Amino acid sequence: MRADGTRSRSRFSVLSSSLSSPLTQEDILKHDLDRLMAERNLDAIVVEGPDGLESANPDYNYFVGGRHIPGLIIKKRGEPTMLLHSPWEQNEAEQTGLALVSLNRWNLREILQEFPDRLEARVEHRRRIFTDLGVRGRVGIYGTVKAGPFFALMARLAQQIDGLEIVAELDRDVISMARLTKDADEVERMRAVGRKTCAVLQVAVDFICTGWIDGGSVRGVDGAPLTIGDVRRVMLREIAAQGLETPAGMIISQGRDAGLPHARGDDAMPLRPGQAIVIDIFPREAGGGYFHDMTRTFAIGYAPPELQQAYNDVLGAFEMVTAAFEAGAPTRKYQDMVCDYFEARGHDTIRRTYPIEEGYIHSLGHGLGLEVHEDLSFSSLVDRGDTIEPGAVFTVEPGLYYPSRGFGVRIEDTYYCAPDGHFESLTPFPKELVIRPYERD
Amino acid sequence: MRADGTRSRSRFSVLSSSLSSPLTQEDILKHDLDRLMAERNLDAIVVEGPDGLESANPDYNYFVGGRHIPGLIIKKRGEPTMLLHSPWEQNEAEQTGLALVSLNRWNLREILQEFPDRLEARVEHRRRIFTDLGVRGRVGIYGTVKAGPFFALMARLAQQIDGLEIVAELDRDVISMARLTKDADEVERMRAVGRKTCAVLQVAVDFICTGWIDGGSVRGVDGAPLTIGDVRRVMLREIAAQGLETPAGMIISQGRDAGLPHARGDDAMPLRPGQAIVIDIFPREAGGGYFHDMTRTFAIGYAPPELQQAYNDVLGAFEMVTAAFEAGAPTRKYQDMVCDYFEARGHDTIRRTYPIEEGYIHSLGHGLGLEVHEDLSFSSLVDRGDTIEPGAVFTVEPGLYYPSRGFGVRIEDTYYCAPDGHFESLTPFPKELVIRPYERD
């Protein structure tokens, strides 16, 4: 890797599936980083906290609690977690409760004078930090970064520091495993976000129901046809009013679009009675906190039999699978149950056909927390041996998609597996397909 | 790098300062990626667009225009830019105008069956993409990524593909250079954000001035002392009303805190007449667009002579340096001018002393656009030879900091260097220190 080619020993390693057996609850307790590090034979972990990423860096946010403190988290196994921060951020840093190390300790100007090449200077800066703080051996790397500068730094660092082995984990890594288990405070916040998210959806339903059905349209109080954009605006306003934000937008899709799971919906499209309308919202606490994720499918006024049947199948799958949840069970079991259920009712599934465009075409859910997709997988494609452990928060979202027939259906709640092993929906919202505005005589 | 140790040739390179001479305007025209690629001898560039990062991935957003399309940008030199996207995002992808490649083209399930190790499967998936699309030679990597998975993928990829050299640029890279030069549409948007940001600050000033000075406090219309939190709430509301958002918060700091450039300010602190209040706001278009960045320093009712003198020095530096701007001139020249100016008036500077805590302790400004800090540097510490070229948008923000004396002053506008070489402030807001609420008899 060195330009002079003198080193041949591999200086970094890559963990793909670091554990053969499923994790237990004890493994993934929030603060049990030492145990997770020991299992992966990690001597230290480094979480990058570059400026300007804030809530897009959940690994780092997990440690600094959403405060704006660009810097670096370093934890050696068996020792307290250190936060390396600019002296400019001293005030904020003190609020984290972490062991503080001011970056003033290393004189960047001296380093820059000694190493005129900027990359070499940056490598030397990091080398001094690692040396002075005793970071050596197998060091795991985490956080959200800029691809080029990070790769440049790490590749050089691995070449230049004897006894340093950079360990890059693909997934189920130390921090995502720690984040997977929510403690009581985190769950209480997520419950509140769930209630607020339901309030946002209720506002949308109430808004639609203040209109009236007029043949093929739904007219608002001013007589103009209601559109998807009208519903979206009402919901965005309520999201802000509830102290939430929605960095990745939302899905309000109707008819054929509802059969394309990621179509965001066309704001100009008028609402149509009897069509499937999928509303999928995934807001989080404003300023970058915990997410909620829920979906309901509605039909205004009435549902054609084909849509009602698909809805019944999805709701049936939802009720069947959530009634069967058991703490410690493999996620794969539930994805298979849902595939069995749908296949028995004549729907194709991603387990049977791939690529697939119609039927049950995705996985049952995903982990949820500081990111809308966290590291708990229900995939039919990849079986990592994931299990649902106490403390897990995840989505349950069976769906059926038939764009060629002009509809799709999805029902989604966020679920929590409590420490005592019981399961709780964090999404207190009814699951009724048909909503009824006024009808004019 | 291979586990079997059979390869010794370096498979990736790192560019620190890829160009010895300053870039010219022609070099950095928005769409002149081919020229920039040729200068760095890059055969292709790959911009990672992982899910869930959205506006935190400005390199990728630059291509997809803020649309939610997780995927990959690939551009070979001299060929159109390709967007690799999930078939689920087909609708959004069509709106980008880029050459579309559906990721359905590669059968992930087959790959996963053939390569049970998940990392190997991911490497194989990417290997097939690169092979099928003819991505080889020197390939630059860009975008915002998760540190571990990205490093794991790239390190393996560099080992396993013959003829592939991963090129990691530290800074002044192809895309940041392209982004640096704003075209007419981008500048028009940035002008509008500037006007709206000024409107937000005006609301704060108006709000303060509806209060009245009562001895050592400023009382609001209800008689309660106004606090920093009150001002922040008013500003946050106006930011939303203007169609802006502020992902990294804002600074409203008073007294000693104003002397600490990154102190966010204490919401519980009552406003005090005669104290320095630094308000630094950096909102962007809602949903992840262009930023503005401005700062004003205020004193309510009156300014003590020491604060007024520091303010005069900062304003003098601001006016001196902005009057001297010339297209094509090195940024370092202006940082030096400001250091000269302050040193002649008895203030210490970061050029003379490092680390430094009082005086002029930072650089004059930074590039601005889809990120609040873009790749144009005025640093005293590192001279990269940056020049101010037509199309550049950047901040000008001289300041003086004296926390030991209980104050700090900063004045900041966002500036634009037009194609004809003239300079324009995008921050139409007066620069007056003292603001006057009513005084009660």
- pLDDT means over runs of 10, chain B (441 residues): 33 46 37 88 96 88 88 94 90 89 92 90 95 96 96 90 90 90 93 98 96 92 94 93 89 95 89 98 91 98 97 98 97 97 98 93 96 91 89 97 97 97 97 87 53
Query: How many contiguous H segments (helices) and E segments (strands) does chain B have?
Result: 11, 23
| Three-class SS of B202-252 | HHHHHHHHCCEEECCEEECCCCCECEHHHHHHHHHHHHHHCCEECCCCEEE
| Three-class SS of A221-249 | CCCCECEHHHHHHHHHHHHHHCCEECCCC
Q: Where are the domains of chain B?
A: 12-178, 182-439
CB contact under 8 A, A53 and B144: yes
Which of B 38-97 lie inside 8 A of A, CB atoms? 48, 51-57, 59, 68, 86-92
Spatial contact of A144 and A60, defined as CB atoms under 8 Å apart: yes
Task: Give me the residues of chain A with pLDDT under 50, please.
Answer: 1-10, 16-30
CB contact under 8 A, A15 and B248: no
Structure tokens at A206: 């109430």
Give chain B positions within 8 Å (CB) of A9. Answer: 5
Q: Which of A112, A117, A154 minimises the CB distance to B17?
A: A117
Angle at B230 between CA B229 and CA B236, to 5 degrees: 85
Q: Which residues contact A441 (CB under 8 A, 6 or more apart)?
A: none
Q: Which of B9, B141, B257 minimises the CB distance to A151?
A: B141
Q: Is B256 exposed, middle or buried (0-12, 13-18, 19+ CB in 10 A)?
A: middle
Give dist(CA B275, CA B252) in Å, integer: 12
State how far the alpha carbon of B332 is from the alpha carbons of A14, B24, B66, B392, in Å: 42, 16, 33, 15
CB contact under 8 A, B382 and A118: yes
Give dist(CA B101, CA B129) in Å, integer: 10
Calculate Rg over the CA atoms of chain B: 25
Give dist(CA B11, CA A303) in Å, integer: 59
> What pLDDT shows up at residue A126?
96
Dump the DSSP string for A353-382.
SSS--SBB-S-S-EE-SSSSSEEEE--SS-
Shortest distance between the Cα of A392 and any Cα of chain B, in A, equals: 20
Give dist(CA A200, CA A252) in Å, integer: 13
> What pLDDT shows up at residue B88?
81
Give chain B positions within 8 Å (CB) of A247. Answer: 54-55, 288
Interface with chain B: mutation pick from A74, A109, A246, highest number of B CBs within 10 Å: A109
Give dist(CA A104, CA B171) in Å, integer: 23
- In a 13 Å sphere around the CA of B77, the CA atoms on its Cβ side amount to 17
Which of B 113-142 lie inside 8 A of A, CB atoms? 117-122, 140-142
Token pair 């349950």: residue: A396
Give chain A positions within 8 Å (CB) of B286. Answer: none
Shortest distance between the Cα of A91 and any Cα of chain B, in A, equals: 7
Shortest distance between the Cα of B390 and any Cα of chain A, in A, equals: 25
> What pLDDT shows up at residue A14?
53
DSSP state letter for B258: G
For residue B85, the chain A residue with the least C-alpha distance is A262
Q: Which of A56, A91, A156 minimises the CB distance to B14?
A: A156
Structure tokens at A348: 């194709």
For residue A403, the chain B residue with the least C-alpha distance is B88
State how far the alpha carbon of B91 is from the alpha carbons of A358, B70, B102, in Å: 17, 13, 12
Strands B413-417 and B393-396: antiparallel
Interface with chain A: mutation pick from B108, B170, B362, highest number of A CBs within 10 Å: B170
Spatial contact of A281 and A264, defined as CB atoms under 8 Å apart: no
Q: Which of B56, B245, B261 minimises the CB distance to A88?
A: B261
Report which residue type is found at B41: N
Q: Is B440's Cβ below 8 Å from some Cβ in A?
A: no
CB contact under 8 A, A86 and B262: yes
Give chain A positions within 8 Å (CB) of B143. Answer: 146-147
Q: Is B336 exposed, middle or buried (0-12, 13-18, 19+ CB in 10 A)?
A: middle
- In a 13 Å sphere around the CA of A343, the CA atoms on its Cβ side amount to 11
CA dihedral A378, A382, A383, A384 (to 10 degrees): -90
DSSP state letter for B324: T
Q: Is A144's Cβ below 8 Å from some Cβ in B?
A: yes
Between chain A and chain B, how many beta carbons pairs sit less than 8 Å apart?
Answer: 232
Q: Which of B12, B249, B384 minimises the CB distance to A68?
A: B249
Q: Is A5's Cβ below 8 Å from some Cβ in B?
A: yes
What phi, psi does A40 have (nearest 5°)?
Answer: -95, 5
Shortest distance between the Cα of B155 and any Cα of chain A, in A, equals: 9
> What pLDDT shows up at residue B244?
93
> What pLDDT shows up at residue A240?
87
Name beta bridge partners: A252: A279
For residue A379, the chain B residue with the least C-alpha distance is B109
Give chain A positions within 8 Å (CB) of B118. Answer: 16-17, 170-171, 382, 384
- Say which CATH architecture domain B12-178 belongs to: 3-Layer(aba) Sandwich (3.40)
Q: Which of A227, A217, A231, A375 is nearest to B146 (CA)?
A: A375
Q: How far is CA B417 from the centre of its chain?
A: 17
Give chain B positions within 8 Å (CB) of A264. Answer: 68, 91-92
> What pLDDT shows up at residue B240?
87
Interface with chain B: mutation pick from A1, A46, A352, highest number of B CBs within 10 Å: A1
Q: Which of B54, B88, B249 minimises the CB distance to A247?
A: B54
CATH 3.90.230.10 fits B182-439, yes or no: yes
Q: Is A149's Cβ below 8 Å from some Cβ in B?
A: yes
DSSP state letter for A23: P
Structure tokens at B231: 């001002």
CB contact under 8 A, A141 and B122: no
Give chain B positions within 8 Å (CB) of A4. Answer: none
Q: Which of A88, A173, A381 minimises the CB distance to B260?
A: A88
